[in-house]
Amino acid sequence: MKLTTIIYNSFKRSCWQLVSRRGLNSMMIIIPLIVTFFLLDLMDQGAVEHVPIAIVNLDNSPMSRQLERNLSAMQGVDVTAHYASHGEAMMALQRGEILGFFFIPVDLEERTLEGNNPKVSYYINYAYFTPSSSQYKGFKTVSLLANGAIAKTMLDATGLLSSKDIASTLQPILTHVHGINNPWTNYAYYLNLSFIPCFLALIIMLTAVSTLGNELKYGTSREWLKTSGGSIMLAVTSKLLPQTAVFTAVGWFIQFIMFRVYGMPFNGNPWHMIWAMALLVPACQAFALLMFCITPNYRYAATLCTLLGMLSFSFCGFSLPAETMYPWIDAIGYIMPVRHFFLISVDQALNGIDLYYSRMQYAILIGYILLPMPLLFRIKKECNNPLYLP
């Protein structure tokens, strides 16, 4: 049989299987798009604002009322209630009516003027990480402003320094904070840029393992290999290449939605991200193929891909800074292809730096594609002697 006929028959069989299985079509197209629109819509407002909090003011002095006004002016929190006691506020916090409260003790102003170091307290529900972070920022800022106001009042009372000298004493160095490439501190730009490709990478790996494992599960592995003329390289290529085309098109559409429709920051050359997505898809397929080569078992390979794919959300530095992880955990993150795609996204999309500085990440993604080739004989051996373990 001619080589062209073998290649045609092999690709025809794979494409027919791909089209005829509705579950695969949903997994490859519908589910990634649903998740993409869900996450983009969920964080469309950007940074978390107007977190419901309360104030317990037992002092009711001009100083404590100034603290209340300062806290109410914070964009990240919304003062929705005032309580007369610590116990009432704590009960409301436990019921979920508020997510935190600011506690001002009795005789705050009086003890301040006497130099007795009064204390203000704040209580935060850390069951919700992002709203609690917004609360903490607001409470901390108000507390620092209160400390400055208290110190200014005490220095004014001494009469030893002028207003100008007091200001320079309290804050000798002025700082200006500039958020590079995300001055709005928009959480959607941080999270969606990583979470959406990571979820797509997980779907790519599971789809690849599923289509390979089904040949063993349904006892068609010998037919699959025979259709490819006994070449495991052609069999695997014809199996995964149609998926590569579909996932790449879906990935490009997702990038268009993210950067053009939803307006996420993009400061580089669009072609750099287009090629990055075109490399991410086969790299994830090759990683799944590698897992299948290491353990030619449908269940084990799917478990490995699922486990490592889910851990990518944390180990790859998406939800936690890689610099704060243990070195061995940080190293695990570099095993996954999506980690290198994320680094490309940061450098090329957000920072817009020269392509030269991302060359290693592109090379690593290409290296993933070549990684499983020396181990393909294990799949061929399993295809000739299929043994499916449910």
pLDDT at position 284 over 90: yes
Q: What is the pLDDT of residue 182?
A: 66
Q: Are residues 100 and 19 in the same domain?
A: no
Assess if residue 98 is contained within a domain: yes
Q: Are residues 240 and 309 in the same domain?
A: yes
Residue 327: count of CB within 10 angstroms of its CB: 7
Q: Are residues 334 and 364 in the same domain?
A: yes
Q: Are residues 337 and 205 in the same domain?
A: yes
Q: What is the mean pLDDT of residues 290-316?
A: 87
Q: What is the pLDDT of residue 174?
A: 59
Distance (Å, rounded) from C-alpha 93 to C-alpha 122? 12
Q: What is the pLDDT of residue 287?
A: 95
Average pLDDT, the chain: 84
Report the alpha-carbon angle 314-302-288, nearest 5: 75
Q: What is the mean pLDDT of residues 342-352?
A: 90
Confidence of residue 178 (pLDDT cuts 50, 70, 90): low
Which of 145, 170, 195 is the C-terminal boundary of a domain?
A: 170
**Structural domains in the chain (count):** 2
Q: Are residues 120 and 217 in the same domain?
A: no
- Tell me how far the alpha carbon of residue 70 is from its chain's centroid: 33
Q: What is the mean pLDDT of residues 107-121?
A: 79
pLDDT at position 188 over 80: no
Assess if residue 352 is contained within a domain: yes
Q: Are residues 224 and 252 in the same domain?
A: yes
Cβ 232 vs Cβ 268: under 8 Å: no
Report pTM.
0.77
Q: Are residues 59 and 37 in the same domain?
A: no
Distance (Å, rounded) from C-alpha 97 to C-alpha 306? 37
Please give the residue range of the domain that contains residue 308.
3-44+186-384
Q: Are residues 229 and 375 in the same domain?
A: yes
Distance (Å) of CA 71 to CA 66, 101, 170, 365: 9, 11, 21, 48
Q: What is the mean pLDDT of residues 111-140?
A: 80
DSSP 126-162: TTSHHHHHHHHHHHHHHHHHHHHHHHHHHHHHHT-S-
Q: Are residues 31 and 56 in the same domain?
A: no
Distance (Å) of CA 36 to CA 41, 81, 143, 187, 310: 8, 36, 39, 15, 17
Distance (Å, rounded) from C-alpha 190 to C-alpha 196? 11
Q: Are residues 215 and 301 in the same domain?
A: yes
Assess if residue 175 is contained within a domain: no
Assess if residue 389 is contained within a domain: no
